[in-house]
Structure 1
Amino acid sequence: MTAMDETLAPLDQQQTVEITTIGRRSGQPRRIETWRYRAAGRYWLTGSPGSRDWYANVLADPAFTIHLKDQDLRVRGRPVTDPDERARIFGEIVPALTWAGTLESWIAGSPLVEIRPA
């Protein structure tokens, strides 16, 4: 197991998580509930197509906290904008979501952030 795997392994315990980002305009902590996903052997945050404040906050300041039931993880987000990488990752995530809509809509309009150790 690599150091990254060990650091992020607690994410395997739950899919629904809360995250705290720093507001890009306010500078204040912003906490929301979201889902984390596992694809290509890594961990991701995404959501159905549309703009998301949490994503804009991560673009402005990639450091954030993931709150799990028994611990908080300080992490960094890596926004994924490369179309080929987005297609590969969403190709693993979206087909398992019965409510998701089309893969194409997610590739075109959903935020995608890789979760990395801080």
Structure 2
Amino acid sequence: MLYGKEHVETYQRTGGAEGHDWNGTTILLLTTRGRRSGRSYTTPLIYQPHGDSYVVVASKGGAPEDPDWYANLLADPEVEVQVKADRFRARARTATDEEKPELWALMTATWPDYDSYQLKTDRPIPVVVLERA
């Protein structure tokens, strides 16, 4: 998370007028269903549009394990997304090996630290495509 609950609440309250633009990049809100709890969890994530979809990165800052939101969407790929005031249902999927180089380049262009995060971990950092339902 970027700055957690406060970021999510401000983004939701203002329809993204506050919280969408962050540290020179753009943020969406991703809501997943907890794979064990069944509860909804909303996470602010750096994103880029790609065609009719949106792309996010499951980096967790280069931690050895995937972020919880990624494990949740693997268990249930039906998610909710908010980009500014636009809220919609989407289906999340991990980018294929063929897609990943182009999408990784798109995301590192907006957040170069992703390259250093990948160097910090042995796991391949997943790139996620969010397709509007």
Match of 1:27 in 2: 38
Q: 2:111 aligns with which of 78, 97, 108?
A: 97
**What is the Cα-based RMSD across aligned positions, in Å?**
2.5
Partner Cα separation in structure 2 for residue 60 and residue 25 of structure 1: 9
Work out whether 1:70 is the aligned partner of 2:81: no
Q: TM-score, structure 2 length as denominator?
A: 0.63
Q: TM-score, structure 1 length as denominator?
A: 0.69
Aligned in 2, Cα 1:67/1:104: closer, same or farther, shift over 3 Å? closer
Tell me the number of residue pairs that the alignment of Structure 1 and Structure 2 aligns.
102
Work out whether 1:38 is the aligned partner of 2:66: no
Aligned in 2, Cα 1:90/1:103: closer, same or farther, shift over 3 Å? farther
Work out whether 1:52 is the aligned partner of 2:67: yes
Corresponding letter in the other structure for 1:33: P
Could you tell me how far 1:25 is from its partner in structure 2? 0.8
Partner SS state of residue 55, structure 1: helix
Could you tell me how far 1:61 is from its partner in structure 2? 0.6
Alignment check: 8 A CA contact 2:57 2:126 kept: yes
Aligned in 2, Cα 1:88/1:103: closer, same or farther, shift over 3 Å? farther
Corresponding letter in the other structure for 1:73: F
Could you tell me how far 1:111 is from its partner in structure 2? 2.3
Displaced runs of 4+ in structure 1, greater than 4 A? 102-106
Work out whether 1:110 is the aligned partner of 2:125: yes
Could you tell me how far 1:69 is from its partner in structure 2? 3.5
Write out per-residue CA displacement over residues 8-67 of structure 1, whole angstroms, 9 at most, x where no aligned residue.
xxxxxx52121110001111111111111234x342121434411111111111111112
Identity of aligned residues (%): 26
Match of 2:5 in 1: none
Could you tell me how far 1:94 is from its partner in structure 2? 1.6
